[in-house]
């Protein structure tokens, strides 16, 4: 159980275009989802916390107008990279908790590798 599906797995886009990444919890409801970014050979950096029915909470230094997050339902959060540039090329990965207990791990999607040309 506790499956998180992320789509697409890979995307190549031209500079200036926008890209939408979907994150779905398949067998549980998630009021909160987390979006991370990972550069090659580096750790996961939290970008924002996506809250169902309300605005996302962004980490310091993350441009909210560039990385639009929408959490329209209890099973779907989307991250849109607007006006993408080559420096936005990265691995984006979403996650959610299946339950609220202290010992509940984050379940991750398989990630999206974005390449901006």
Partner 1 sequence: AQKITQTQPGMFVQEKEAVTLDCTYDTSDPSYGLFWYKQPSSGEMIFLIYQGSYDQQNATEGRYSLNFQKARKSANLVISASQLGDSAMYFCAMREDRGAQKLVFGQGTRLTINP
Task: Provide the binding-site residues for partner 1, judged by CB under 8 A.
Answer: 34, 42-46, 49, 57, 91, 93, 95, 102-103, 105-108, 110-111, 113
Please count the helices (runs of H) and the strands (runs of E) in the chain.
Answer: 0, 11
The CA angle 63-65-3, to the nearest 5 degrees, is 80
DSSP annotation of 15: T
CB of 108 to partner 1, least distance (A): 4
CB of 18 to partner 1, least distance (A): 23
Which is nearer to partner 1, 14 or 40 (by Cβ)? 40
Between CA 110 and CA 91 the distance in angstroms is 10
Which is nearer to partner 1, 110 or 115 (by Cβ)? 110
CB of 95 to partner 1, least distance (A): 7
Which is nearer to partner 1, 14 or 102 (by Cβ)? 102
């Amino acid at each position: 159980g506790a499956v998180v599906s992320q789509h697409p797995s890979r995307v190549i886009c031209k500079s200036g275009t926008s890209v939408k990444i979907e994150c779905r919890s398949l067998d549980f409801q998630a009021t909160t989802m987390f979006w991370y970014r990972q550069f090659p050979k580096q750790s996961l950096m939290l970008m924002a916390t996506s809250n169902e029915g309300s605005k996302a909470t962004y980490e310091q230094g993350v441009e909210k107008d560039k990385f639009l997050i929408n959490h329209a339902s209890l099973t779907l959060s989307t991250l849109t990279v607007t006006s993408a540039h080559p420096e936005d090329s990265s691995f984006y990965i979403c996650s959610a908790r299946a339950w609220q207990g202290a010992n509940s791990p984050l379940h991750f999607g398989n990630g999206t590798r974005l390449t901006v040309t």
